[in-house]
Amino acid sequence: MFTPVLRFTVHRPCPLLSVHPSRCLVDEKFEVLCQHLLPALQVTLHALLQTEDGDYWEAFGHYLSDAVGSVRVSEDASLGGSYSGVEPMGLLWSMRPVPGSKTGLRLRKKDVFKPTDVNISLYEGHLNEGFKDKHPLASVVAQRWYTAPEVQRVEVKEKGLKGTLFIPPGPGPFPAVLDLWGGGGGLVEYRSALLASRGYVSLSLQYIGLTGDDGKPCIVGNDYFEAAFSILKQHPQVCPDRVAMMGLSFGVSVTLGMAAYSSVIKPKCVVCVSGSHVMPVNGSLADVFDEIKKNVKNSRFDEEQRVIWRDLLLPIPDDSSKKVEMGRIKCPVLLIVGEDDQNWPTSESAEDMKQMMKQAGNSHLLTVLSYPETGHLIEPPYSPHIKASNFILHETRNKVVVLWGGHTVPHSRAQEDSWHKTLTFLEQHLYSNDRVASRSNL
């Protein structure tokens, strides 16, 4: 058997790299630990993953081992790299495409039943590039999942709907969430998969970019969402009086509109991420699109030709016929807002919504989480911050680069904080017994 000449002698350090736990849901933390290095050794910890599209994303931090030759990411400060300071999860949220990648990429999981294997490697020295040509001291795999074991996935096609239902394991019945993504269109499943892993039947609904029976693009009306809500309510594994709605971006317009006006949709609570209430009273999605199209001249571009759309709905109208009447909403509302949102005027909208509800006397239902230096795409925790990305306009099929906004560190903190508060909010309103009316921190 061929025996290569070993570079290591008995006196050469034998470093031990470990990640714990090695298998996690994507919203769970891990600990990366290096041991048995020489003391005060410069090392780089590097994380690498390959997406389903074949792109590579990486993050890295520069560390100095302590007096006993250890580096513990949750306690030690990174001295540089894609993140700095004491950042337990910096190796994930600071990821970006490796040099030489295509531009304008976004990291989004398609097959939620396959894990993402993140390779975490330890290199000697403080490196900034050329990782794939260097030989690491050690390497381990951290596996990240969007689904807990035995979460079920069911395609929904009835009543002209297009969506995916995720069902938690167990007999049920469970509370449920109607999950609406934004203007990017398509069917985005990963947030629903994660909600199901946390105990909610979750229906991820496609509602933008659909084609009608004639093959032409169509914009769905309010009855589409009412049908979706009804299907969810009537599902044998769903508690019919514990159904919530969660929307991001355009999904917020739908969520607030339905909560205020629909006689069919009566959510127990709603979560609105990065959205606005500006839309004609009792209007539909088509109305929001029209409003935006009218103002498309208000698009701006930054120094890198990335399009800023936040002005398209500004100024927030004083005319109350042009906004959802927030006073009509009867359920708790959680608003999540990034103050550096360059895509929608979410801060201004949130402020206006607050005023409307104060005047109407239902502001006790409103909770606003407003995050400084945070952009539009507030995703599940530890997802990389996407400041700008490629976007295809639906009708013209033109490709633009959209500026979403935000700065990486505060945006990542916002993702982590808002997700945990979202889960707490959902649990409080969908799982708690009514007698436990006021709860302190969970």
Partner 1 sequence: MVATSRTLSTRVWPLHLVKPTRGLVDEKLKVIVRNLNPRQEVTLRCVHQDVWEGFGHYISDQHGTVTVAKDASMGGTYKGVEAMGLMWSMQPVPGSRKGLRTLSTRVWPLLLVKPTRGLVDEKLKVIVRNLNPRQEVTLRCVHQSEDKDVWEGFGHYISDQHGTVTVAKDASMGGTYKGVEAMGLMWSMQPVPGSRKGLRLRKKHVLSPMVFHISVFDGHITQGFSQLTALATHAVERWYVAPGVQRVYLQEKGVQGTLFIPPGPGPFPGLLDLWGGGGGLVEYRAALLASHGFVSFALEYLSSEEINAPTTDVKYFEAAYQILKSHAMVQKDRLALFGLSFGSTIALSMAAYSKIIKPRCCVCISGSHVNAVQRTLSETFQEIAKNVSKIRVEDGQVIWRDIILPIPADPSMKIDVGQIKCPVLLVNGSDDQNLATVESAEDMERMMEKAGNRHLLQVLTYPGAGHLIEPPYTPHHRTSNFVIGKDKVLMLWGGQAKPHADAQEDSWEKIVAFLQQHLYFTGSQAKL
| Interface with partner 1 (CB under 8 A) | 1-4, 6, 8-18, 20-25, 28, 35-38, 69, 115, 117, 121, 135-143, 145, 148-150, 169-171, 175, 197, 199, 234, 239, 242, 427, 430-433, 436, 439, 442
Q: Which helix (H) or strand (E) is 417 found in, with range?
A: helix 408-430
**Whether the Cβ atoms of residue 334 and residue 270 lie closer than 8 Å to each other:** yes
CB of 10 to partner 1, least distance (A): 4
From the list 202, 249, 383, 418, the catalytic residue is 249
Q: Alpha-carbon distance 387 to 93, whole Å?
A: 13
E-strand stretches of 38-128: 42-50, 56-64, 71-72, 96-97, 116-124
CB of 366 to partner 1, least distance (A): 24
CB of 150 to partner 1, least distance (A): 4
**Whether the Cβ atoms of residue 341 and residue 335 lie closer than 8 Å to each other:** no
CB of 23 to partner 1, least distance (A): 4
From the list 204, 341, 385, 429, the catalytic residue is 341
Which residues, at least 6 apart from 107, have a Cβ–Cβ distance to it below 8 Å?
51, 57, 95, 383, 384, 386
Q: At 134, is the secondary structure helix, strand, or coil?
A: coil
Cβ closer to partner 1: 10 or 296?
A: 10
What phi and psi, each to the nearest 5 degrees, are found at residue 430? -110, -25
Cβ closer to partner 1: 236 or 361?
A: 236
Cβ closer to partner 1: 86 or 141?
A: 141
Which residues, at least 6 apart from 222, have a Cβ–Cβ distance to it below 8 Å?
257, 258, 261, 262, 284, 285
CB of 232 to partner 1, least distance (A): 14
Catalytic residue status for 263: no
CB of 119 to partner 1, least distance (A): 8
CB neighbours of residue 279 within 10 Å: 26
Q: Alpha-carbon distance 246 to 153, whole Å?
A: 19
- CA-based max dimension of the chain: 83
**CA nearest neighbour of 147 among 196, 110, 109:** 196
Q: At 340, is the secondary structure helix, strand, or coil?
A: coil
Specify the pairing of strand 201-205 against strand 174-180.
parallel
Catalytic residue status for 249: yes
CB of 17 to partner 1, least distance (A): 7
For residue 67, count CB atoms less than 10 angstroms from its CB and return exposed for 0-12, middle for 13-18, buried for 19 or more.
Answer: exposed
Taking CA atoms, 349 is separated from 270, 290, 310, 339, in Å, by 16, 18, 11, 11
Q: What angle do CA 322, 323, 327 make, to 5 degrees?
A: 135
**CA nearest neighbour of 405 among 419, 421, 389:** 389
How many CA within 13 A on the CB side of residue 31?
11
Cβ closer to partner 1: 268 or 323?
A: 268
Catalytic residue status for 135: no
CB of 64 to partner 1, least distance (A): 16
Q: Alpha-carbon distance 204 to 202, whole Å?
A: 6
Cβ closer to partner 1: 2 or 100?
A: 2
DSSP 171-195: S--EEEEEEE--TT-S---HHHHHH
CB of 407 to partner 1, least distance (A): 31
From the list 62, 376, 385, 429, the catalytic residue is 376
The residues assigned a catalytic role are: 249, 341, 376
